[in-house]
Structure formats: C-alpha cells, structure tokens
Amino acid sequence: MPAAESQLDRIQQHHLARFQAMGLAARPMPDGRSLLVSLPAGPAPFESIAGPIAVDRIVFATVGGDRIKCLRPRPLFELPMLDIRDCGNPSAIEAAVRRAFRERMQALRAVALRLGELGLETEPNATGTLLGFPLSGESPATEILIDADQRVILPSAGSLSGLPLASPRERVCEIPESLSSAADLECLVAAQIDAAKRSARKRQAAQRARPAPSETRSASASSRPTALHSIKSRHHPKVLLVGSSLVGDESLRQELKRQGYRTATARSETEALMRLASMTPDLVVSEYALGRSDGATLVQATRSLAGIEGIPVVLLDDSSHESRKAAARAVGAAGYVILPPEKQRFVARLGRLVDESKKRRFTRYPGRFSARLAGLPSPCVATEVGRGGVFIATDAELDLHSAMTCELTLPEIRRALRFEGQVLYRAESQGALPGLGLRFSAISAEDEAALIEYLTRLESRRR
C-alpha cells in the first residue's frame, strides 16, 4: 500500500478504492481522515439565479462514511453535504450534485420573491448562489448576503472587518417569519452588527487587561517549533514613531511600553518609508512638521506601499492649524492631535484605534503556501498571506488569542519563515475553508523583510 494510503482509516481506504474503480482521481487530504476527489462534469451548465455557470470539473471532499462536501467550483461550495451511498458511478454522483444545486436555486428564488414582497430589492452575488443587498450606514462595497435557508450572513468587511468574533455564528442570523417589511430586516441586521461589535470589543478589552506573559520567546531565537498549545497570548501592537521630537520623547516611549506596545522610530519621512519597507507596525504616529516634508505627505506615501496601503497614521502638531487639519483629513489620516497630549490618555486612545479595524486595511494575497503548525504531525496549507498575518486551512481547534509557532514556506524564493502567531479568528463555515486566521506576534527582522519583499513582488504583478 502506498505511504499516503497507509495514513487513511479503513473507511477512507474503502472509499479510495471505490473512487479509483470509477476512474476518478482521488488523493488523501493532509489530515488522513478524508479524500479529495476530482469529478469531470458533463457539458450542460449549472443554472444559477444569475444565469448559467459552465462547470467542467467538480472537486469534493469525503466527509465521514458516505457524504461529500463540494469545494470547487466556488458556486457549489454553498451546497450542503450530500449523501452518495447509492451512487455507483460518476454520472450518479454528478446527478446528485446537480439535483442539490437545482433545489438550492429554487429555494433561493423563493427567498428573493418573499423579500421582494416586503419591499427589499436583492441582487445575486458574484457566484449566483446568494442574494445580496447594501445596508444603510455601511460602505457601498459592503454587501449583506442571504442564503437559501433564509439566513443573513454579515460581511467580514466594513465595520466588522478584522474584529475577533468568537465564532462564525456571530455573523449569521435567521430571518424571522414574522418579518413585515424591508425596514424591519435592515434594523435586525444593524442590531446584529452592533451586537457583534460590542462582543468583540469586550473580548479585546479583556485581552488587553490580562497581564503579559512573564516571558515571550522570540521566533528568531527558536531553533525549532515548539509543541502546539492553547496558551492565551497577549498581542503587543507595534507603533512607528516618526519625527525627531517623538524619537526623543522618552516619557511617551515609556508609557507605550507600560501599556504593552513595542516601538520603532524614524526621524524623517524618508527614514520612515525605509522602515516600512522592511517592517509592519500596527499604526504610525508622526509629527506633522517633518523638515522638508510633512505628515500629510507621509500619509499619502504610505498608500503606495504594498500590503499596508491603509495603515492608520496619527499626526501630532505643536499648535492648531486649520489648513493642516484639513490636509490631514483630506489624505485620510487616522487622527490630528494637538501637542502636548496627556500621555496616558493618548496611548489609551491609540489602543482603541488599533482595535478599530475599519481603519486598518492590510491586503491579503491569495495563494497556496506550504505551512506547518508546531505540534501537528502533518504539514498544512496557508491560503492567504499578508503583512499582518496568514490564514491557514486546518481543522486544528484552538481558542481565540491562543499562541502557536508556525513555519511558512514562500514559493519562488524557497524560504521558510518562522514566526509566533496568535489566533485572531476561526472560519468554520459560510463560504470559508475551515481554518485559523493568525496575526504575527513575533517574527525576526530578516524573515519579516523577506516576507515584505515577496508581497511587493505579488503586488507589482497585480498592477
């Protein structure tokens, strides 16, 4: 028996032989408890509510004994798990998938009709398998989604972007049968978003209030990954201080350290951009007057940096200047503060800014990156990587804010990066692969510079 097959339990070994007898390509998933199977599809398109979808191949994973979960193409991901115990050949499996898709679309059309009668206009999403509508008060690009089970799916973008929700279930709410108008639904969704934000911010506040671990092991100092663990870790945000006065302000730096921040410094805009080319802070605090440059110009310059084009920049001025305040607002500065601020209150305000995810827009780049979580016997795959962290597809179960060591291999440069990560969120359903969103807690300067160089290459190709 091949080595890969020997890792499978008896049920999956049986299914592997079954699919191979059908002539289908099948291979074990990294966990050894399921198979990934590729099924060629017939020429007839799948009819979604947005129109026909051409599908030449269906990729699914086995779940337990006789069920499958469709993974690709993306429109089929919304289907529930399907029972294929009575399917004796590829055509029967395809027929089961098509039947489930038709039923799903019929249910979705019925939901659209009901909402239309209530006065809510919806549009199919990009895959044609969900309904979408904009919500008053949110960005026009932020879309509320509704599935065929009459559930509202709150967006991870907009005001919930980056917030550490305890579970994906916090982003889902049922549409009650008693709903009488579109306005009622909008109120329900807005209330759910507010409740999720309050819950997430309470968790963030509680996390900041916890004492820091007595010892934090640097990723650069470790010779090998430590065992997978669920120890709660505290995130220590990194602040870049820009300007000669801020660099020399020892009392500010001590207050930042006391409240759990790490600091980096730069005396000018040029030096700040050099630092940002090789490190990623959580935010930037800069003097407005920077010699030959100014804070508004610095904010604009950060917008062209790959991966952190929305990093929050707070500008400090020695006295109030309406023209400077207007310039700061025009370029999208996160704040314009008049010196001298009271240090303790000012740093506390920075903490709230770090937690306000709508002011943080770190780009996530999709791909397939080989990864390994310390303590897991098999490697896994990272499906997104950015300057703030990574998303790793895995069924490992860890609490939010748990600490772990991870190793990530970047293609092309063939470099393995090792870092300490913190579980920021879990994705278990609603269109996302099961896995963990990790943000970087500690990474060596060399590895961070290599990561940023790689992401800069990706960004240049996108343009």
Give 95-145 as a DSSP string. HHHHHHHHHHHHHHHHHHHHHHHTT---EE-TTSSSEEEE-TTS-TT-EEE
- 427: in domain: yes
Are residues 351 and 371 located together in one domain of the fold? no
Residues 315 and 328: beta-carbon distance below 8 Å: yes
Q: How far apart are CA 430 and CA 428, in angstroms?
A: 7
Question: What local confidence, expressed as pLDDT, does residue 45 receive?
Answer: 94
Give me the CATH number covering residue 441.
2.40.10.220
Query: Is position 250 within any domain?
Result: yes
104 with 176, same domain? no
Any domain includes 221: no
| Residue 219 domain-assigned (yes or no) | no
CB-based contact 402:423 (threshold 8 Å) = yes
Residues 102 and 151 in one domain: no
pLDDT for the residue numbered 95:
96
Residue 124 lies in a domain: no
Residue ranges making up the domain that contains 96: 3-113
pLDDT of amino acid 31: 55
Return per-residue pLDDT of the chain as tens, 463 residues. Answer: 343 444 556 777 888 888 999 999 988 876 566 788 999 999 999 999 999 999 999 999 887 668 888 988 888 988 888 999 899 999 999 999 999 999 999 999 999 999 999 888 899 987 888 898 887 766 665 678 888 888 888 776 666 665 666 665 677 888 888 888 888 888 888 888 788 777 777 776 766 665 544 444 444 334 333 334 445 556 788 999 999 989 888 889 899 988 888 899 999 988 898 888 888 898 999 999 998 889 999 998 888 787 887 788 999 998 888 889 888 888 888 889 988 778 888 888 888 777 664 444 577 788 888 888 887 777 788 888 888 888 888 877 777 778 888 998 887 777 788 888 888 877 764 445 678 888 888 888 888 888 888 888 877 776 5
Specify if 341 maps to a domain.
yes
Assigned domain for 317 exists: yes
CATH code of the domain covering residue 257: 3.40.50.2300
| Residue ranges of E strands in 273-351 | 283-287, 289-290, 293-294, 313-317, 335-338
| Structure confidence at residue 193 (pLDDT) | 79
Of 336, 359, 382, the domain-final residue: 359
Report how many domains make up the chain: 4
Domain annotation covers residue 228: no
**In one letter, which amino acid is 421?**
G
Residues 324 and 292 in one domain: yes
Q: Are 247 and 355 in a shared domain?
A: yes
Query: Both 261 and 341 in a single domain?
Result: yes
Q: Considering 359, 390, 422, which residue would you say is the last residue of a domain?
A: 359
Q: How do beta strands 380-386 and 364-373 pair? A: antiparallel
Residues 9 and 27 in one domain: yes
Whether 298 and 388 share a structural domain:
no
pTM recorded for the entire structure: 0.50
